[in-house]
Structure 1
Amino acid sequence: MTGEIPAENLTGALGGYTPADQRTPLLPSKKQDLTVEADDGYHQASFSSAVFNLSTTTVGAGIMALPATMTVLGLPLGILAIIVSGLLTERSLDFLIRFSKPIKARSYGGLMADSFGKIGRIMTQLCIIVNNIGVQIVYLIIIGDVLSGAKGTVDSAHTGILVELTGGPTWWNGRLFVLTVTTLFILVPLACFRHVDSLKHSSALSVALALVFVVITTVVAIKKLFDGTIEAPRMLPDVYSISSLGRLFTVVPVLATAYICHHNLHPIANEMKASSGVEIDKVSRASITLCSVIYVATALFGFLLFGDKTASDILSNFDADLDIPYSKFLCDVIRISYAVHIMLVFPLLNFSLRLNLDSLLFPKRRPLSESSRRFYTLTAILITTIFIGSTLVPNIWVAFEFTGSTATVLLGFIFPGLIALRDSPRIATSRDKWVASIMVVVAVISSVSAIVTNVIDLSIPVDSTQPKNNLHGIYSYMGARS
Structure 2
Amino acid sequence: MEASWGSSSAEWGWYLSAQQPGDSAAEELRPLLSNELHRQRSSGVSFGFSVFNLMNAIMGSGILGLAYVMANTGILGFSLLLLLVALVASYSVHLLLSMCIQTAVTSYEDLGLFAFGFPGKVVVAGTIIIQNIGAMSSYLLIIKTELPAAISEFLTGDYSGSWFLDGQTLLIIICVGIVFPLALLPKIGFLGYTSSLSFFFMVFFALVIIIKKWSIPCPLTLSYIEEFFQISNATDDCKPKLFHFSKESAYAIPTMAFSFLCHTSVLPIYCELQSPSKRRMQNVTNTAIALSFLIYFIAALFGYLAFYDKVESELLQGYSKYLPHDVVVMAVKLCILFAVLLTVPLIHFPARKALMMIFFSNFPFSWIRHTLITLALNIIIVLLAIYVPDIRNVFGVIGASTSTCLIFVFPGLFYLKLSREDFLSWKKLGAFVLLISGILVGNFTLALVIFDWIKK
Contact 1:57 1:345 in 2 (8 A): no
1:134 is paired with a residue of what secondary structure? helix
TM-superposition CA deviations, 1:51-99 (whole Å, max 9, x none): 3332122111111111111122110121121111111101111111221
Contact 1:249 1:450 in 2 (8 A): yes
Q: Does 1:405 align with 2:405?
A: no
Q: Does 1:269 align with 2:261?
A: no
In structure 2, the partner of 1:445 is 440
Of 365, 375, 389, 2:383 maps to: 389
- The number of aligned residues is 414
TM-superposition CA deviations, 1:299-338 (whole Å, max 9, x none): 222112221221211112112335xxx9711221222222
Q: Are residues 429 and 50 of structure 1, via their aligned partners in 2, closer, same or farther at CA, if it must alter by over 3 Å?
A: farther
In structure 2, the partner of 1:232 is 239
Contact 1:25 1:425 in 2 (8 A): no
Contact 1:218 1:301 in 2 (8 A): yes
Q: Are residues 409 and 238 of structure 1, via their aligned partners in 2, closer, same or farther at CA, if it must alter by over 3 Å?
A: closer
In structure 1, the partner of 2:356 is 358
Q: Are residues 277 and 417 of structure 1, via their aligned partners in 2, closer, same or farther at CA, if it must alter by over 3 Å?
A: closer
TM-superposition CA deviations, 1:84-128 (whole Å, max 9, x none): 111110111111122111211111010122122222111110011
In structure 1, the partner of 2:343 is 345
- For structure 1, which segment, 377-386 or 93-102, has the greater mean C-alpha deviation from structure 2 after superposition? 377-386
2:98 is paired with a residue of what secondary structure? helix
Name the CA distance, whole Å, in 2 between partners of 1:237 and 1:319. 26
Residue identity matched to 1:90: S
Q: Give the deviation of 1:234 after TM superposition.
A: 0.7
Q: Are residues 279 and 47 of structure 1, via their aligned partners in 2, closer, same or farther at CA, if it must alter by over 3 Å?
A: same
Q: Are residues 428 and 262 of structure 1, via their aligned partners in 2, closer, same or farther at CA, if it must alter by over 3 Å?
A: farther
In structure 2, the partner of 1:334 is 332
Name the CA distance, whole Å, in 2 between partners of 1:161 and 1:222. 22
Name the CA distance, whole Å, in 2 between partners of 1:110 and 1:222. 50
Name the CA distance, whole Å, in 2 between partners of 1:258 and 1:432. 25
Contact 2:153 2:325 in 1 (8 A): no
Contact 1:62 1:254 in 2 (8 A): yes
Q: Give the deviation of 1:382 after TM superposition.
A: 4.3
Q: Does 1:118 align with 2:128?
A: no
Q: Are residues 282 and 449 of structure 1, via their aligned partners in 2, closer, same or farther at CA, if it must alter by over 3 Å?
A: same
Contact 2:141 2:386 in 1 (8 A): no
Q: Give the deviation of 1:184 after TM superposition.
A: 4.6
Residue identity matched to 2:327: F
Name the CA distance, whole Å, in 2 between partners of 1:311 and 1:274. 45
Contact 1:146 1:335 in 2 (8 A): yes
Name the CA distance, whole Å, in 2 between partners of 1:330 and 1:396. 25
Name the CA distance, whole Å, in 2 between partners of 1:452 and 1:394. 19
- TM-score (norm: length of structure 1): 0.75
In structure 2, the partner of 1:80 is 80
Residue identity matched to 1:250: Y
Contact 1:417 1:440 in 2 (8 A): yes
TM-superposition CA deviations, 1:194-234 (whole Å, max 9, x none): 56754442232001101111011122336889xxx993311
In structure 2, the partner of 1:215 is 207
1:228-267 equivalences under 5 Å are 231-238=238-245, 244=247, 248-267=249-268
1:434 is paired with a residue of what secondary structure? helix
- Structure 1 runs not aligned, ≥5 long: 12-18, 31-38, 149-159, 462-482
Q: Are residues 93 and 48 of structure 1, via their aligned partners in 2, closer, same or farther at CA, if it must alter by over 3 Å?
A: same
Contact 2:67 2:301 in 1 (8 A): yes
Q: Give the deviation of 1:295 after TM superposition.
A: 0.9
Q: Give the deviation of 1:269 after TM superposition.
A: 3.0
Residue identity matched to 1:405: A
Q: Does 1:165 align with 2:159?
A: no
1:101 is paired with a residue of what secondary structure? helix
- For structure 1, which segment, 350-359 or 372-381, has the greater mean C-alpha deviation from structure 2 after superposition? 372-381
Q: Does 1:299 align with 2:300?
A: yes
Q: Are residues 453 and 359 of structure 1, via their aligned partners in 2, closer, same or farther at CA, if it must alter by over 3 Å?
A: same
Q: Are residues 217 and 399 of structure 1, via their aligned partners in 2, closer, same or farther at CA, if it must alter by over 3 Å?
A: closer
Contact 2:183 2:374 in 1 (8 A): no
Name the CA distance, whole Å, in 2 between partners of 1:385 and 1:427. 48
In structure 1, the partner of 2:109 is 109
2:195 is paired with a residue of what secondary structure? helix
Q: Are residues 186 and 27 of structure 1, via their aligned partners in 2, closer, same or farther at CA, if it must alter by over 3 Å?
A: farther
Q: Does 1:65 align with 2:74?
A: no
Q: Are residues 176 and 296 of structure 1, via their aligned partners in 2, closer, same or farther at CA, if it must alter by over 3 Å?
A: closer
TM-superposition CA deviations, 1:107-155 (whole Å, max 9, x none): 101012212222211111001111111221221121121112xxxxxxx
Identical pairs, percent: 24
- Structure 2 runs not aligned, ≥5 long: 27-36, 218-234
Q: Give the deviation of 1:190 after TM superposition.
A: 4.5
Residue identity matched to 2:348: N
Q: Give the deviation of 1:186 after TM superposition.
A: 4.0
1:62 is paired with a residue of what secondary structure? helix
Name the CA distance, whole Å, in 2 between partners of 1:47 and 1:100. 19
In structure 1, the partner of 2:51 is 51
In structure 1, the partner of 2:283 is 282
In structure 1, the partner of 2:171 is 179
Contact 1:50 1:197 in 2 (8 A): no
Residue identity matched to 2:259: A
TM-superposition CA deviations, 1:153-179 (whole Å, max 9, x none): xxxxxxx21133234253344335433
In structure 1, the partner of 2:416 is 421
1:235 is paired with a residue of what secondary structure? coil
In structure 2, the partner of 1:373 is 367
CA-atom RMSD, angstroms? Answer: 3.8
Name the CA distance, whole Å, in 1 between partners of 2:254 and 2:419. 29
Contact 2:352 2:374 in 1 (8 A): no
Residue identity matched to 2:153: E
Q: Are residues 429 and 318 of structure 1, via their aligned partners in 2, closer, same or farther at CA, if it must alter by over 3 Å?
A: farther
Contact 1:136 1:349 in 2 (8 A): yes
Contact 2:90 2:286 in 1 (8 A): yes
Q: Give the deviation of 1:236 after TM superposition.
A: 1.7
Name the CA distance, whole Å, in 2 between partners of 1:219 and 1:448. 39
Q: Give the deviation of 1:379 after TM superposition.
A: 5.9
Contact 1:354 1:378 in 2 (8 A): no
Q: Are residues 445 and 328 of structure 1, via their aligned partners in 2, closer, same or farther at CA, if it must alter by over 3 Å?
A: same
Instruction: Please identify which structure carries the higher helix content.
Output: 2
Q: Give the deviation of 1:440 after TM superposition.
A: 2.1
In structure 1, the partner of 2:7 is 4
Q: Are residues 224 and 255 of structure 1, via their aligned partners in 2, closer, same or farther at CA, if it must alter by over 3 Å?
A: same
Q: Give the deviation of 1:272 after TM superposition.
A: 4.1
